Structure 1
Amino acid sequence: MNQTQNHFKTIAVWHPYFLGGGAESVSLWILQALVPYYKVTLFTLTPPDLHQLDILYDTDLAHQENLTVKRMLPEALTPRFIDTLIANSPPLKLSFQHWAVRAFKSMNTEYDLVFSTYNGLDMGRVGIQYLHWVHVVDPQPDKNKGWAWLMMKFSEFSMDQLKQNQSLANSYYTADRIKSAYGIESRVIYPPVIGEVEVVPWEEKEDAFLCSGRIVAPKQTDRVIKILQGVRDRGFDVKLHITGGGGGTYQRSYEQKIMQIAEQNSDWITVYQDLPYKDYLHVIARCRYGLHSKPEPFGISIAEMVKAGMIPFVRKNGGQVEIVGPHHSELLFDQPSDAVEKIVQVLTQPARQKALLESLKKQQSLFSTEKFMAEIQAVVAEYFQN
């Protein structure tokens, strides 16, 4: 890459808000990949705390001279206020999204490239979009009515414009859904997974499971607890470490429910909330196993488990299968009862555990921050060469 020449290129990146999760990690690492070579402007509703995000995601963005943050809402509307509204009201979330679409289209005309790191988007011109899933900003065709229809009209959202962008997908599973939803092809670039985990010998690890990700109902944290309670009922004294990520404001009542269950079972359940990434890595280094109950478009936390040398048990449909590998059928489950049986089978076979660990090592090379950044840099370089 000709760094001197590319320093004169400017890129407008659209990510409307930062509430935690895998999409946020991807956006931050896309910025990390681009700022050494381009002048990058992040367009967002309210400015994020880059210092805090650097701590949570192990990026280095707060002091980058080539990064500018442009807020699209007045300063009187604080990030905490806006985040609370978005997290607790789907209609307001949709409204703010389309406000951000409209504002971005009016503000990005002078940039050399526009880049949505928050799913498919009409940016007013052709650019690059990274899709974590489909119909996130644009509603599903059968739901494009009422308030959704009004918001699409407000932002003058063009599906034809969305389809002209160069699309990147977080997994082949998502790429298939993109093809089905929009009729367009996409290039798969697996999300960034940090691999600097302390190497702890298997014999010294805890007989513990990790459940990682936001503590919200869609992540099915309660089902993970139910599964492991079933395993314990079969005579296995396993522990559970739950790590809530991102620092968002999602579904406080569900989070409180999980905290209450954890307190009632404090002899085997520990909850860690909003850990700095370095501390999170210390927790995952100590766990032998991982458990994730939600089918995911990708599943960064599952890739982290694989990178950390765990044996993860995941749902048998979704992008997370690509992380674990479809050939590891004994790690893929459907119902909670199925998960209990498969976990028990692995726990009772030390030789099989060793074989799985060796086999899973082959999956680790698929995911890293270095690989992710190199692929993003290549995509942008190719865009400017065409």
Structure 2
Amino acid sequence: MRILFVALSKETKTGARYTEEIIRQALSERHEVEFLYPNLRGDARLTSLLYLSCFGYLPLLKRGLYDLVFTSDNFVFADVVYVQPPAGQDAVLTWDEMLFTKSSKGHFRLLPALANSPLKTLISAHAQFITNSNYSREVVRRNFGKDAFVIYPPVPTHLYQSLESNRENLIVTISGLNPRKNLGLIAEVGIKIPEAKFILLGYYHKVHVHILEHIQARFRTSGLGTNFVYVPSCPAKVKAKILSRAKVYFHPTPFEPFGISIAEGMAAGCIPVTHDSGGPCEFVPGEWRYRSVEDAIAKIRYALETWNIRRATEFRSLALRFEEGRFRNEILDFVEEKFSRSCRMAGKLKPKDALAFSGGES
């Protein structure tokens, strides 16, 4: 099968892009896959915005050359869309929100607004949706008026083959600097737990450096400047080593669609303390989900006091169901079933041939 894989970036900086990379690898194992990315040159912002506003339509022009078009960017024309919404209760799946941000002004907002409406209608009518959680499934229903098939995202559980029993009073958060991630809560909670250290790991966004500066300032003015450490864009092995020293993984973001980093913290043996909303409700036990700042502080303190290797092993077991191999198989099964079904409907493939395509009878 010839597949066109469309994406807005080749760089793996976030959980969403990590998932995208695993999808690309899985599809390439069995099929001929070609990739389509924006080709941006120069620093002209208006030119770049104009190009990106039109990029979502480009796969439609190339559709006849491929058996299937796949994307994980939900503002791109495709046959199959793996939807990974932004965090936040008010999440909407549009170019304006996800690509150009709400801070865009004037004509910079007009371009995506003009591009979004017809593209959204086109995608709604044509695409089949996969989502990374049941919560995200509802986001798709709200935005596109269509149902979706849930395939939980991959988690790099292979980085944690064994659990460290000697742990520090260390709380880890993994997140890029992003206004939607509510990272200021790290400081609000951290200054109330002086007996513990907090580490923030994640991609450094220069445009949002004020978020980091705010957190650092809150710790410093409370006399706890050494209790907070920021580690930007660290390698996977460094991340795994830090998580394996920690007792708690703290996620300050409400209405997270899934939370790959939460599940990764669990795989490392950390107790997850997450907001009681969004996708994490589907795999984080209720006793560790908070609803207020005071609740978060209490749960983190309790986690620090009660962490033990038995509890760490239980959380690791919960996370292992999201391992990468499971995700690869489920994505391939979905794509190949869709291709077989499409061929049968078009009269190109008989039922027995479709059975052979999927690997024969079990």
1:373, 1:35 → 2: CA distance? 11
Q: Which residue of 2 aligns with 1:151?
A: 115
What amino acid does structure 1 have at the position aligned with 2:80? I
Counterpart position of 1:113: 68
Cα distance change on mapping 1:298 and 1:92 into 2, 3 Å: farther
1:240 match: 198
CA distance in 1, matches of 2:162, 2:299: 26
The RMSD of aligned alpha carbons is: 2.8
- Greater mean deviation of Cα atoms: 353-362 or 305-314: 353-362
Change (3 A) 1:343 1:161: closer
Q: Distance in 2 between matches of 1:243 and 1:147?
A: 34
Q: Aligned in 2, Cα 1:170/1:92: closer, same or farther, shift over 3 Å? A: farther
- The aligned runs of 1:169-208 (5 Å cut-off) are 169-195=131-157, 196-197=159-160, 199-202=162-165, 204-208=166-170
Work out the percentage of aligned pairs sharing the same amino acid.
Answer: 22
- Deviation at residue 291 of structure 1 after TM alignment: 0.5
Question: In the TM superposition, what are the counterparts of 1:228-267 in structure 2 within 5 Å?
Answer: 228-232=190-194, 237-245=195-203, 248-259=205-216, 265-267=224-226
Q: Given the alignment of the two structures, is residue 12 of structure 1 paired with residue 4 of structure 2, yes or no?
A: yes
The 8 Å contact of residues 116 and 128 in structure 1, kept in 2 or not, is answered as yes
**What per-residue deviation string (whole Å, max 9, x for no partner) do you get for residues 176-228 of structure 1?**
222233221211111111012253433x1211000111022321222112112
Paired residue secondary structure (1:383): helix
Is contact 1:10-1:40 (8 Å) kept? yes
Measure, in 2, the Cα distance between the counterparts of 1:21 and 1:201.
Answer: 26
In the TM superposition, residue 339 of structure 1 has moved relative to its aligned partner by 0.8
Of the three residues 277, 286, 301, the one matched with 2:261 is 301
In the TM superposition, residue 103 of structure 1 has moved relative to its aligned partner by 2.7
What are the equivalent positions in structure 2 for 1:77-156 lying under 5 Å apart? Answer: 77=42, 81=43, 95-119=50-74, 121-123=76-78, 127-133=79-85, 135-137=92-94, 147-152=111-116, 156=118
Q: Given the alignment, which residue of 330, 340, 347 partners 2:304?
A: 347
Question: Is the contact between residue 197 and residue 282 of structure 1 (CA under 8 Å) also seen in structure 2?
Answer: no
1:120–1:135 CA contact under 8 A, matched in 2: no
Q: Distance in 2 between matches of 1:95 and 1:308?
A: 43
Give the Cα separation in 1 of the matches to 2:47 and 2:10. Answer: 16
Amino acid corresponding to residue 209 of structure 1 in structure 2:
I
What amino acid does structure 2 have at the position aligned with 1:17? Answer: S
CA shift, 1:138, in A, is: 5.3
Aligned length: 321
C-alpha distance in structure 1 between counterparts of 2:49 and 2:147, whole Å:
26
Please state how far the C-alpha of 1:345 moved relative to its aligned partner. 3.2
Please show how residues 299-378 of structure 1 align to structure 2 within 5 Å: 299-324=259-284, 328-349=285-306, 356-378=311-333
SS at match of 2:94: coil
TM-score if structure 1 supplies the norm length? 0.74
Q: Of residues 15, 18, 23 in structure 1, which corresponds to 2:16?
A: 23
How far apart, CA to CA, are the structure 2 residues paired with 1:361 and 1:214?
A: 24
